[in-house]
Structure 1
Amino acid sequence: MSIPSTNTAAPDSSAAERDPAFHTEARERLAALAGAEVDFRDGQFEAISALVQERRRVLVVQKTGWGKSAVYFLAAHLLRSRGRGVSLIVSPLIALMRDQIAAATRAGVRAQAVSSANAHEWDSIMESLRNDDLDVLLISPERLANPRFRDEVLPGLLKRMGMLVVDEAHCISDWGHDFRPDYRRIGEIVRNLPAEVPVLATTATANSRVVDDIAAQLTPAGESSPESGGAQQPDKEVMVLRGTLSRDSLRLGVLTLPDSEQRIAWLTQHLDDLTGSGIVYALTISQATDLAAHLNAHGYKVAAYTGQTDPDERQQLEQALKDNTVKALIATSALGMGFDKPDLGFVVHLGAPSSPVSYYQQIGRAGRAVDSADVLLMPGKEDIRIWEYFAQASMPTQERADAVLEALSPETTLSVAKLEAMVEIRRSPLELLLKVLEVDGSVRRVSGGWLSTGRRWTYDAERYDTILAMRRAEQQLMLDYEQLPAGVCRMVFLAHALDDDEAQPCGRCDTCAAPWFPHDVSSSALAEAKDSLDRVGLEIAPRKQWPTGLSALGIDLKGKLPAEAQAQPGRALARLSDLGWGTPVREALQGEDAQVSEQLVRGTIRVLAEWGWARRPDVVVSMPSRQHPLLVESLAGALAQVGRLPYAGALDWADGGPTSTPDTNSAFRLAGLLGKFTVSGDLAERVSGASVLLVDDEVISRWTLTVAARELRAAGAAEVLPFALGMRG
């Protein structure tokens, strides 16, 4: 795709001089929005003038806290007063924009949002839109895929649109740190808008490659000419207003400690030393919940905030942080773009984000309206493994795309649930793949499900290989940031990573000056952290219901599993993502197959001692394992020896063993497991009437243990107690 020429503009004070009356009008509206007499920040008025008076397409790349929302609310209001239509703001942050919408309303801007959080208001909002009683409508990018909105609301809206705003516009770009397939629909809307409709794209995190990509997508269709060699005409250039990304209020540092116990002990000992209230980021949900539980147990008022937090609870937690009634939220990236607490005092990362760009975006929450805020990164050994997983998790494959397109037709609508039963893909990756196929034109979402358009989809290996290589290069930049030598400014490094070459050394970070944070960890805090992380045992909830859609695979099973075929609630030693026991479990499962370590045996014995089963096991049986046969058999043997129980051996594979993988959906996983285990005559005799401790290496879908327990129960076992070293999730 050709990149149009862009006009990278520095803030221009002459814009106010060219039209002082308009500047006065805009400044009055700014005062109403802010609730006080304030001046425009460098670039704000220039952006508003370009949108309202020149109807330009503008890309604003400015640091967090600069005031991008003020630009689009004021521009929308000023356009409306000049007879233009409603402005549409597409943002992933609607749930986090309550304060901005309230401020806009106080300033006389009639703004409403359509999101999953206010479904009860949709009809009245749509009525206001039809009656032309709105100045601004905010929607999420996912709303563009909603059939009713897309077919009934959007066409009329586009005909009388005053302005289109794309918030967090780096999501448009394949090269952005937070690329989202839903955002790619916006590009088509932009290309088909009349050239006189102004478009504003805003972001705080974009390097030059992302800026060029966004600018290309803001280019009006048909605005090039043969005489210009295909380039945009000068009066139609995308205006890029890019400010410095250096943040003077942030004091950056990196503290590298040897293990999770040391990092948690440091936080327990020193969290109160950090000014005000803030955010502690973790890379996974289990890390966030475990850390929050530990800090709460040691007297801190904190709360976990993750992708699994209920929307209503999220709002309450955000308000608690704003009101300083909690010391910190222990959060995953679910608390990211759009959260606005001007006096946030600190941001600490327990584990590093995968790129300087996403790191800059998260630390941008701090120090907006205070002179100094502390930012500390505490990297972990597990970071690279987590980065690599997320780098590849969202990428489609040709095989999966072909399976989906083969199952769909142009005539018959299939729901995601029905489609899931026909293709070997789990629900979350299936929904993501459908979004990719939709924006590429191969499928179409309609009321009730999905249809094929008949257009073939081809995996663009070069594109995805390039994206993956770029993500790995960004990972290396993050590792470089962690190891900067003295004298190399951390803020300058981050700014350069975003292609801002104007940043000057901050003089405040731990490499410009001496480290501002203590390194010590007391023996008592370390002992408490070790005790906290030394907790063992997770319940493996038994499967009690057959998956839906088995009939499509020729399997006559539905409804509840008979009680006489079920396993009892089981136990796992740890989650693979846990900060404590997750590390040795992960090392055992990801390394070469070997005898179980004494450490893991000791941990397992503790789990068994705390189990509280109604009936003690009579016999130990192991699962057959392709990846870790020695590990599983040695663990089963060790437990039998310690418990003075007979080890009855392992189940056998039948017909070559399972034909599905744990990463498929439940229906396909189960179909590939049924009939694949056998209980031999000797084993059947040993388990008859017995309580069986069934030992495995890892629990992913729970269907393997479910099917194995069903076979053991059918062979006469009185009950089956599953145990595994590790559990995903």
Structure 2
Amino acid sequence: MTSASETSVIDTAAPDLRERAEHLLRELAGPSARLREDQWVAIEALVVSRRRALVVQRTGWGKSAVYFIAAKLLRGAGRGPTVIVSPLLALMRNQVAAADRAGVVAATINSGNVTEWDEIHRRVAAGAVDVLLVSPERLNNPDFRDQVLPRLAADAGLVVIDEAHCVSDWGHDFRPDYRRIRTLIADLGADVPVLATTATANDRVVTDIAGQIGTDTLVLRGTLDRESLHLSVLRFDDAVERTAWLRDHLSDLRGSGIIYTLTVAAAHDLADVLNECGHHVAAYTGQTDPTERESLEVALLANEVKALVATSALGMGFDKPDLGFVVHVGAPSSPISYYQQVGRAGRGTDRAEVILLPGPEDTRIWSYFASVAFPREHIVRTVLDALDFDRPLSTAALEPRVELNRSRLEMVLKVLDVDGAVHRVRGGWITTGQQWVYDGERYERLSAAREAEQQAMLDYQGTADCRMNFLRRQLDDPGLPDTEAPGCGRCDNCTGVRPDAGVDAASLAATRARLDRPGLDLAPRKQWPTGLGTLGIPLSGKITRGPETGRALGRLTDLGWGQRLRALLDAPDDPIPDRVFDACVAVLREWNWAQRPSAVLALESPTHPVLTATLAARLAEVGRLTDLGTLPRRPDRPPVSAANSAHRVAALHDSWEIPDLSPATGPILLVDSLTDTGWTFTVATHTLRTAGAPPILPFALASVT
């Protein structure tokens, strides 16, 4: 690999430099492509002046062309490889394909190609790679950080931070791993150019990013207006009506597109309904296997499906120029993230439909995601206190020592890492001993900013003004005049033309019947959490006295039963309503159990004792089962509030007073109003089975997930 000091110098006055750039663009984008003026300004700044630049331009403008052309020109002058920090697998796959078209040798290191990492590291070391795309999470892998990253920092020809709004606390998709990029940039040579790109950044985010990448950052920022997008909002009373509308009108939307949902469960429910009535769609979420994701992306690119029904997992970087529509079933929590997602549509077409179908449950879902933000100081301090200087602890070993679930613990560790308080090494995490200050004021400001964004999203739904101008104002679009701007002339408010809101009565009834189909399985827990011994709980390994596969009426996030179950659990504690009880009976009737239950036992509920007890009693009566009453909690045991599995099990262990179980001659139906993690059913069953109870069949009104 050639070092920066040995490279040739690119002549600033070279008359053919722009023509070479134009030629590369035609290889990337076709024979009629021409560089935009700001594209050339950015390329010249990177290649000739070795500057640091931030390009904020709308989706489809051609930001990737800037860094691939710059990478090729720098490589041709003998510079080292370009390093692109890229957040999503879909983005990486598209970028590698684009690089190949321009004759750029590109490689990627991400969670989807683990078996290729060693070979890619070897090729990078040998100078055989022009462009290396890495995920931000990879930057703190100990081997990559200590062995590969220093060489890249020393020899890089260009460093690119794609989707750079992720760097900023104020960005709509902030990721702690992105903050490590500051360390990478700090280790670069003075003449190594840096490019940050994003389509979604307001003034505050632009200032933050520019300050992080350099003191004299060139900012190139264009208008965010998208002339192909036709924005509309349609309101319906409930999720069933929204689903029925899509069932009736999806075929009216031109081409293929994306239907966004706020939750994984809603994506699968909606995809099932649409497929059953003849539409060819598929669900795409963060839980979809990486290989399956890639095949689904290819199917959408080839118009083999009408739509992907997706969560935000399908977002940044997915590039289909002729994407005909984006529909949101449920509103994102900010206009900025909404603009980012709708920006997938209409990049290479004259018209694309963008339709928002908001729901009353949206704010509840926003609140849930806000609740898993950065935790309070005393919880973070327990993480620091649990770590040693020289004895690494893995995340799994650390989890039972703190009251955080795995995902929040990993997030806290990443933040502490970039703050210098902890360090990731082989085998886990250690403390550095550096003083760490909890910036409570900063987190409060962030919380206030998120609340303001949520209100803005509600305002977008209700505005009578131009919807495109509303979004452009939220992103501080420099192309929008300060004075009263004319409307876009395309959205429903500007034209007075709205999508047909009609829903066929038969279609609505069929959709309601499909979504009213009750019942889902509750898979039993198989292993006790690690580290219970450190909490004084004598449980470990495989769970041998756990429950059988259980059942629930529905999820709180279901399109059908979700809204009704949420309303039921939010209401005052009353006896089980007849309609809900009848649905529970239907679920039990279809339960394929190995042996019919002989008795019913209600778990004592701290929030819904009447609801739970009356459900159990009526099930006993209808099913002619022995009513064992309620499994009472010991009065000296406090309510369970722990977030992670180990602490939750510890709080539940030995928490119940065992009633007389002798009347049960066969399996016992164990009833609760709500199940979340499954640990209450698991620990209660272990307690009962240890006391000699027969097999336990869990049944809940609602499951959180």
Shorter-chain TM band: over 0.9
SS of the residue 1:663 aligns to: coil
Tell me what 2:686 maps to: 710
Indicate the larger mover: 88-97 or 289-298.
88-97
Tell me what 1:519 maps to: 501
Tell me what 1:274 maps to: 253
- Residues 404 and 642 in structure 2, CA contact (< 8 A), matched pair in contact too: no
Name the count of aligned residue pairs.
Answer: 690
- Report the Cα distance in structure 2 between the residues aligned to 1:387 and 1:89, rounded to whole angstroms: 32
- Residues 87 and 163 in structure 1, CA contact (< 8 A), matched pair in contact too: yes
Q: Which amino acid aligns with 1:172?
A: V
The equivalences for 1:196-595 within 5 A come to 196-220=191-215, 237-485=216-464, 488-503=465-480, 504-562=486-544, 565-595=545-575
- Report the Cα distance in structure 2 between the residues aligned to 1:599 and 1:657, rounded to whole angstroms: 35
- Residues 346 and 374 in structure 1, CA contact (< 8 A), matched pair in contact too: yes
- Report the Cα distance in structure 2 between the residues aligned to 1:259 and 1:92, rounded to whole angstroms: 34
Tell me what 1:225 maps to: none
Q: Which amino acid aligns with 2:683?
A: V
- Residues 596 and 666 in structure 2, CA contact (< 8 A), matched pair in contact too: no
Partner deviation per Cα, 1:142-190 (whole Å, 9 max, x = no partner): 1110001110111121112211111000001110000000001112322
Q: Does 1:723 align with 2:699?
A: yes
- Report the Cα distance in structure 1 between the residues aligned to 2:688 and 2:188, rounded to whole angstroms: 64
Tell me what 2:613 maps to: 633
- Report the Cα distance in structure 2 between the residues aligned to 1:388 and 1:566, rounded to whole angstroms: 33
SS of the residue 1:80 aligns to: helix
SS of the residue 1:112 aligns to: strand
Tell me what 1:224 maps to: none
- Report the Cα distance in structure 2 between the residues aligned to 1:592 and 1:163, rounded to whole angstroms: 61
Q: Which amino acid aligns with 1:289?
A: H
Distance of aligned partners of 1:121 and 1:685 in 2 relative to their CA distance in 1, 3 Å threshold? closer
Tell me what 2:4 maps to: none
Q: Does 1:604 align with 2:599?
A: no
- Report the Cα distance in structure 2 between the residues aligned to 1:372 and 1:93, rounded to whole angstroms: 27
Alpha-carbon offset, residue 406 of structure 1? 1.5
Tell me what 1:228 maps to: none
Q: Give the CA RMSD over aligned residues.
A: 1.9
- Report the Cα distance in structure 1 between the residues aligned to 2:236 and 2:704, rounded to whole angstroms: 26
Q: 1:104 aligns with which of 90, 99, 102?
A: 99
Alpha-carbon offset, residue 661 of structure 1? 2.8
Distance of aligned partners of 1:459 and 1:594 in 2 relative to their CA distance in 1, 3 Å threshold? farther
SS of the residue 2:542 aligns to: coil
Partner deviation per Cα, 1:674-709 (whole Å, 9 max, x = no partner): 1111113xx33444x343221111111222112222
- Report the Cα distance in structure 1 between the residues aligned to 2:188 and 2:179, rounded to whole angstroms: 15
SS of the residue 1:478 aligns to: helix
Distance of aligned partners of 1:543 and 1:32 in 2 relative to their CA distance in 1, 3 Å threshold? closer
Partner deviation per Cα, 1:417-476 (whole Å, 9 max, x = no partner): 211232232211111111111111111111121111112433211111111111111111
Partner deviation per Cα, 1:277-336 (whole Å, 9 max, x = no partner): 000000000000000011110011110000111100101000000100100000000000
SS of the residue 2:493 aligns to: coil
- Report the Cα distance in structure 2 between the residues aligned to 1:42 and 1:606, rounded to whole angstroms: 65
- Report the Cα distance in structure 2 between the residues aligned to 1:709 and 1:120, rounded to whole angstroms: 41
The equivalences for 1:67-86 within 5 A come to 67-86=62-81
Q: Which amino acid aligns with 2:657?
A: T
Distance of aligned partners of 1:594 and 1:110 in 2 relative to their CA distance in 1, 3 Å threshold? same
Partner deviation per Cα, 1:106-151 (whole Å, 9 max, x = no partner): 3222221111222222222222221222221111111110001110
Distance of aligned partners of 1:311 and 1:544 in 2 relative to their CA distance in 1, 3 Å threshold? closer
- Report the Cα distance in structure 2 between the residues aligned to 1:662 and 1:608, rounded to whole angstroms: 31
- Residues 94 and 139 in structure 1, CA contact (< 8 A), matched pair in contact too: no
- Report the Cα distance in structure 2 between the residues aligned to 1:299 and 1:155, rounded to whole angstroms: 54
Indicate the larger mover: 573-582 or 128-137.
128-137
Q: Which amino acid aligns with 1:79?
A: L
Gaps of 5+ in 2: 1-10, 481-485
Alpha-carbon offset, residue 210 of structure 1? 0.5
Indicate the larger mover: 96-105 or 599-608.
96-105
- Report the Cα distance in structure 2 between the residues aligned to 1:413 and 1:181, rounded to whole angstroms: 21
Alpha-carbon offset, residue 655 of structure 1? 5.5
- Residues 392 and 468 in structure 1, CA contact (< 8 A), matched pair in contact too: no
- Report the Cα distance in structure 2 between the residues aligned to 1:264 and 1:444, rounded to whole angstroms: 48
SS of the residue 2:495 aligns to: coil
- Residues 684 and 715 in structure 1, CA contact (< 8 A), matched pair in contact too: no
- Residues 326 and 342 in structure 2, CA contact (< 8 A), matched pair in contact too: yes
Tell me what 1:648 maps to: 628
- Report the Cα distance in structure 2 between the residues aligned to 1:705 and 1:664, rounded to whole angstroms: 16
SS of the residue 1:370 aligns to: coil
Q: 1:131 aligns with which of 102, 126, 135?
A: 126
Tell me what 1:46 maps to: 41
